[in-house]
Chains A and B, each alone.
Chain A
Amino acid sequence: MANFSIKHQPGFTAIAATCFVVLYLPIIVLVFYAFNAATSTSEWGGFSLKWFQSAWQNTQVIDATVRSFQIGSVAAVLATIAATMAALATTRTAAYPGLTFKYAAINQPLMVPEIVTGVALLIFFSRIKIFTGYSGLGYLIAAHTAFCIPFAYLPIRARLENMDLTLERAAADLYATPWRTFRRITLPLLWPGILAGLMLAFVISLDDVVITEFVKSGGQDTLPTYMLGQIRRGITPEINAISTVFLLLSVAIVTLFFFISRKRD
């Protein structure tokens, strides 16, 4: 019997297969060679966990990882708070001239090339450094917060737009002041969106290279910038091992948040 479903058309399977191969094969190869006993990332020399051990004992790796998590967690929380406020302000209002401009402004980091933001921040922060003498992690946290906002904003705004406005109206009708309506109705219903935003922001921050590379001071390597620096000096399967752990962490975080947000629903 002929199948009229639009899903089944000649060539679809081949295209899909190609996409999956390009997406996943390099990652599989990378993970595979993390367990290589040899010093090469392309010649197999037997199974070994020594590169994981060597990465674990490398204080530079541990430092960079801890820094990544510090920056990522603080920036994700700050960005999510800002994004929640922005989402509330841009959805709980009738459309007015300038609203589209505000959307664009909030989503700026999605549109402006990262390299431009990186250079701009480098110049901007160097001025502040001269004036204040401060050269701590604050700059990286500020930069990460800024570019994480749109990633946190999008799921929160989507959640708000799907939320029935009548619920808030009903709460107001039942004597709840605007603040109590927010605390008792809007916020609990918004949680899954906020968690999704937080997760996205955290993962994006963890992953950033370009802006971090420009903004960081000496000795402020995050895990991605450390790895980039290592690759320049010649590659060993230690990088594969670090990447593998990094990958597992990302998958674990995303899965965890996915289940939390689903349970909240």
Chain B
Amino acid sequence: MVTIKQEQNLPPRAGHLNGVIVPEQPDKNAIEVRGVRKVFGSGENQVAALDTVSVSIRENEFFTLLGPSGCGKTTLLRLIAGFDFPTAGEILLYGQDIAPLPPFKRPVNTVFQSYALFPHMTVAENIGFGLEMLGKSKAEIKARVGEMLKLVKMEALAGRRTSQISGGQQQRVALARALAPQPKVLLLDEPLSALDYKLRKEMQIELKRLQHETGITFIFVTHDQEEALTMSDRIAVMSSGKILQVGTPWDIYDKPAERFVADFIGETNFLTAAISGMGGGKARATLKSGATIEATVAEGFQPKDNATVVVRPEHAKLTSGKGDLSGTVENIVYFGTDTHIHVQLDSGEAFTVRQQNTRSAGCGFERGDKVGIQIGNDAAQVLRD
């Protein structure tokens, strides 16, 4: 995963890394959102789109705001861009509060979901627009536009109208236009959502490359968890105007702190368990089946006696013998790369196991089979709920 490579290149990051707590480096924060609230409407119709959000985004980071529609991720992006102003709180850009500034006074550029290319200008004119508004000389604009066209591989289409190029090409122009003025932070508002699957995959890699080559801090908004996991250095998962968890894709996927995060990102199994014997960030969880497994507990969290434990479908194994859980195969769904086997547990709960497919053999189980489920070591996580 890209994240690991990045970890080697950059100084150690704040948070929990290899069991060592690295202190925050506030001077290295590109954006600091402090206690930001955004309320729409007035009186009884008031809706808090952002409910006191605080988050730090580091320099040169690919940071993703992830959540379902209406969670407040786009509102937060708009506040950073300056299209809206917070009801309360501060937004610091390298230590300076930019919250009250209009968008044209912020060294922050946006890639819009609809691209918002100027239809009456050519590709080159679009890319040069920001530089022109900044009062750069003609020669400088020309050179920089050339550079940007090269960066997004659009040199051949510089003179075209934006209506004469394809969706994927428009996307590249929108990127080049936003990157041309060398913003301190680039905001991307679900920029890939209009592209088809294959193009989207290509652009994901392209975006990572651009971020790496330009060294600009990217703040990316998406509702697509897969996109977030594959591209981001860190992800903030949002719901109902709040940030629930911030962490690396690995943190978010494997150590979800709350039910919403676990549920929203990937598929997962929820099991009720009795907690005993806390220690070393781990707890012993006794499942309804009677089996006791070891589960990770989020830092600083003291679970109650009864809690929910999550296990990812690919971290469990189906056996025809006895396992930590037992049940009956309810359904088998073939996905190409893997097969999902839905099991009705004897305890009444449902459990899904994901099994890698091989070319020759079937999955080895059939509907109605009595099976056991083996939960892997370090596979379970206790939720904060």
Contact = CB atoms under 8 A, between A and B. Distances in A.
B104 A173 contact: yes
A172 B102 contact: yes
Contacts of A171: 118, 129, 133
Contacts of A170: 110, 112, 116-118
Interface in B132-188: 133-134, 177-178, 181
Interface in A171-207: 171-177, 180, 184-185, 188-189
Interface stretch (A106-114, A161-169, A229-237): A161-169
A174 B114 contact: no
- Give the size category of A's interface with B: 10 to 19
A166 B112 contact: yes
A176 B112 CA distance: 16
A176 to B, nearest CB: 5
B83 A174 contact: no
A169 to B, nearest CB: 6
Nearest to B187: A173
B47 to A, nearest CB: 15
B130 interface: yes
A171 B129 CA distance: 8
Contact of A173 (B109, B114, B117, B118): B109
Contacts of B134: 175
A180 B134 CA distance: 12
Contacts of B108: 173
Contact of B116 (A167, A175, A180, A188): A167
Contact of B104 (A167, A177, A184, A185): A177
Contacts of A175: 104-105, 130, 133-134, 181
Contacts of A166: 112, 114, 116
A174 B81 contact: no
B112 A172 contact: no
A180 B133 contact: yes
B304 interface: no
Given A164-B114, A166-B112, A173 B81 contact: yes
B227 to A, nearest CB: 21
Nearest to B177: A174
B359 interface: no
Contacts of A173: 81-83, 103-104, 108-110, 178
B110 A167 contact: no
Nearest to A170: B116
A172 B81 CA distance: 10
Contacts of A169: 83, 103, 110, 112, 116
B266 interface: no
Contact of A189 (B103, B110, B120, B129): B120
B119 interface: yes
A167 B114 CA distance: 10
Contact of B133 (A164, A167, A176, A188): A176
List 10 A-B pairs, minimum CB-CB distance, nearest first: A174-B130, A170-B116, A175-B133, A166-B116, A172-B103, A176-B133, A173-B110, A175-B104, A188-B120, A172-B104
11 contacts: A164-B116, A169-B103, A169-B116, A170-B110, A172-B83, A172-B104, A173-B104, A174-B104, A174-B181, A175-B104, A177-B104
Interface of B: 81-83, 102-105, 108-110, 112, 114, 116-120, 129-130, 133-134, 177-178, 181
Interface of A: 164, 166-167, 169-177, 180, 184-185, 188-189
Given A173-B103, A175-B181, A189-B119, 18 more contacts: A167-B119, A169-B110, A170-B110, A170-B118, A172-B103, A173-B81, A173-B108, A173-B109, A173-B110, A174-B104, A174-B109, A174-B177, A174-B181, A175-B134, A176-B104, A176-B133, A184-B129, A185-B118
